[in-house]
Amino acid sequence: MDENLLNDVVAAALKAGADAAEAVGAERRSLSINVRMGDLEEVEREESRDLGLRVFVGRRQATVSGSDISPEARGKLVERAVAMARLAPEDPYAGLGDPDQLARGPLPDLDLYDPAEPSPEALEDKARIAEAAARAVPTVTNSDGASGSWSSARWTMVTSAGFTGVHRASGFSIGASAIAGGQDGMETGYDGRSVRWQSDLPSPESLGAEAGRRAAARLGARKIASTTAPVIFENRLAASLMGPLIGAISGPAIARGTSFLKGKLSQQVFAKGISITDEPHRVRGLGSSPFDDEGVENRRTEIIADGVLTTWLLNTSSAKQLGLTTTGHASRGLAGPPGVGPSNLTFQPGDRDRAQMMKDAGSGLVVTSMFGPSLNGNTGDWSVGCSGFWFEGGELAYPVSEITVAGNLIDIYARVVPGSDLEIRGSANAPSLMIDALAIAGR
C-alpha cells in the first residue's frame, strides 16, 4: 500500500483530534490448488488490500480496520477511530513505540521476497506429483489429497512518531496426505513444506513419498498400558514444547501474574548448556521481519542461555507495565492493539542423534504426533494426546496410539535433553527432545 496514502490517514487522524496515530496497510495475493485421487478438487485465489488504524486520545486508544480504501471510506474510518478512542477506558500504558527505539534505515535485507509467480498449472502439477508419490508407497490405499500454493504479501507501517517501514515477503508450499490400509485398520501420514523462495522447496516426489511412508509405518498401532518411561519428541513436532514457554514469558502474562515462570527471570530453568534463540533477521526465515509490529528495532535474542531464562518478551505496553524496555517483540494484525510474539525460534541442538538417544534410553516412547494439549498456565501442569512408536533395545519396536503424556513443564524443562537432528522447517524449530521419564497414560 502506498506510503503517501498511509501518511494521509495519519495526518487526518491527528487533524480529527487524535494525539498520536499509527496506520498499517496490508496487500496480499495468493493462489492455492488442491488435488485428490489424481483429480483437480479446488482452486482458490485471493487478492486483498486492507487498512488498519490505531489512534490515541490521551491514554485512550482504539483500533479499526477496513478493506475499502477510497477517500470517503478512509474519512469514515478516521472519524470512527477517534470517536471510539474518546469513549474507551484509559490505559496508562498505551502509546506508540518510543522514537528512540524505532528501527532506522538502512533496514536489513532478509531476502524474503521471490518475485516468481507460479501458474495454476504449475502448482497443480506439483500437487499431482506429490500425491502420486504418496499413493505409490506400498499399503497406501487412499489419499486425503495434495496441495500447492503461493502467496505474496506487502506490509507497510506509518506512525506519527516518524516511523515508516515496508516489509515484503513471498511464500511457496507443497503438502500431501496419504492413507494406508490393512487388516489392522487405516492410518494417515502427512508431509509438507513452506518456504520463502520457490527454489528452496524439496521435490514434490520426496514430500509425497514421505507422507506415504509415515502412513504405512503407522499400520498395526497398538494401545499400551499406562507407565512411566523415557519419551522422545520427534524433531518435526518438538518445537511445540516451546509454545507454553513463550506464553509463560510474554510480558502481558507476567504483568497479569498468570505465568508458571513468573519469578524465574535470571534463574536456571533448563539444564546447563541449553540455548533457545529468537532470530528475526534470519535470511529467508518464515518468521523474519526487519522491524517489529510497532516499528521498533528487533534483534537476535538468546532467550535461554546456558539454561538460564534471560528475558521476558515485551512490546511497548507490557514493558511500561513492568518498568522495563520493549524487546522488539510486538506482534499484531490489522485489528486490535499489538500483542507479543517471537520471530524465528530455535532450540539449539545437542550432540546425540535420535538413534543414540534411543540406544542410551533403552526403551520408551518416540512421539510423532500430538493433539489436544492441555495447560494450566499458572502451575505449568501439562498433558497432550499422542501417537508414535514404542522402542526397545534402542530400536523401534511397534507403533502405538491413543496415549497421553503428562507432567509439569517446570520439571520437564529442567530435564529435557536436545538431540543433534535440528532441521529448519518453519518459524519454530527444534531437534528431537528427550525427557528421561514422563507419565504415559494408556489403556
* pLDDT tens digits, 361-407: 999 999 999 999 999 999 999 999 999 999 999 999 999 999 999 99
Q: Rounded to 10 degrees, what is the CA torsion of 346, 203, 122, 1?
A: 10
pLDDT of 105 higher than 90: no
Label residue 335 by pLDDT band (50, 70, 90): confident
Q: Please check whether residue 210 is in contact with residue 246, taking contact to mean a CB–CB distance below 8 angstroms.
A: no
Q: How large is the average pLDDT for residues 285-299?
A: 97
pLDDT of 87 higher than 90: yes
CA distances (Å), origin 247, targets 262, 298, 312: 11, 19, 10
Place of cell 528431537: 432
Q: Residue 334: its pLDDT value, please?
A: 86
pLDDT of 1 higher than 80: no
* pLDDT tens digits, 304-314: 999 999 999 99
What letter represents residue 207's amino acid? L
**173: alpha, beta or left? (left if phi > 0; alpha if psi -120 to 50):** beta
Q: Please check whether residue 277 is in contact with residue 298, taking contact to mean a CB–CB distance below 8 angstroms.
A: no
Label residue 282 by pLDDT band (50, 70, 90): very high
Mean pLDDT score across all residues of the chain: 96
Label residue 239 by pLDDT band (50, 70, 90): very high
- Cα(264)–Cα(269) distance, rounded to whole angstroms? 7
Q: How large is the average pLDDT for residues 60-75?
A: 96
Domain ranges of the chain: 3-217, 227-241+348-441
Q: Residue 336: its pLDDT value, please?
A: 84
pLDDT-wise least confident of 205-209, 286-290, 334-338: 334-338
* pLDDT tens digits, 151-163: 999 999 999 999 9
Q: Residues of the chain with pLDDT > 90: what percent? A: 96
Q: Please check whether residue 196 is in contact with residue 362, taking contact to mean a CB–CB distance below 8 angstroms.
A: no
- Cα(218)–Cα(213) distance, rounded to whole angstroms? 9
Q: Please check whether residue 219 is in contact with residue 184, taking contact to mean a CB–CB distance below 8 angstroms.
A: yes
Q: How large is the average pLDDT for residues 199-209?
A: 98
Q: How large is the average pLDDT for residues 73-95?
A: 96
Q: Please check whether residue 61 is in contact with residue 88, taking contact to mean a CB–CB distance below 8 angstroms.
A: yes
> On the CB side of 189, how many CA atoms lie within 13 Å of its CA?
29
120: nearest Cα among 33, 195, 61, 212: 33
Place of cell 500430538: 370
368: nearest Cα among 261, 251, 210: 210
Q: Residue 182: its pLDDT value, please?
A: 79
**SS3 string of the chain?**
CCHHHHHHHHHHHHHCCCCEEEEEEEEEEEEEEEEECCEEEEEEEEEEEEEEEEEEECCEEEEEEECCCCHHHHHHHHHHHHHHHHHCCCCCCCCCCCHHHECCCCCCCCCCCCCCCCCHHHHHHHHHHHHHHHHCCCCEEEEEEEEEEEEEEEEEEEECCCCEEEEEEEEEEEEEEEEEEECCEEEEEEEEEEECCHHHCCCHHHHHHHHHHHHHHCCCCECCCCEEEEEEECHHHHHHHHHHHHHHCEHHHHHHCCCCCCCCCCCECCCCCCCEEECCCCCCCCCCCCCCCCCECCCCEEEEECCEECCCECCHHHHHHHCCCCCCCEECCCCCCCEECCCCEEECCCCCCHHHHHHHHCCEEEEEEEEEEEECCCCCEEEEEEEEEEEECCEEEEEEEEEEEEEEHHHHHHHCEECCCCCCCCCEECCCEEEEEEEEECC
Q: Does domain 3-217 have CATH number 3.30.2290.10?
A: yes
Q: Residue 382: its pLDDT value, please?
A: 98
Give the global pTM. Answer: 0.95
Q: Residue 183: its pLDDT value, please?
A: 77
* pLDDT tens digits, 252-271: 999 999 999 999 999 999 99
Chain Cα centroid distance, residue 268: 25
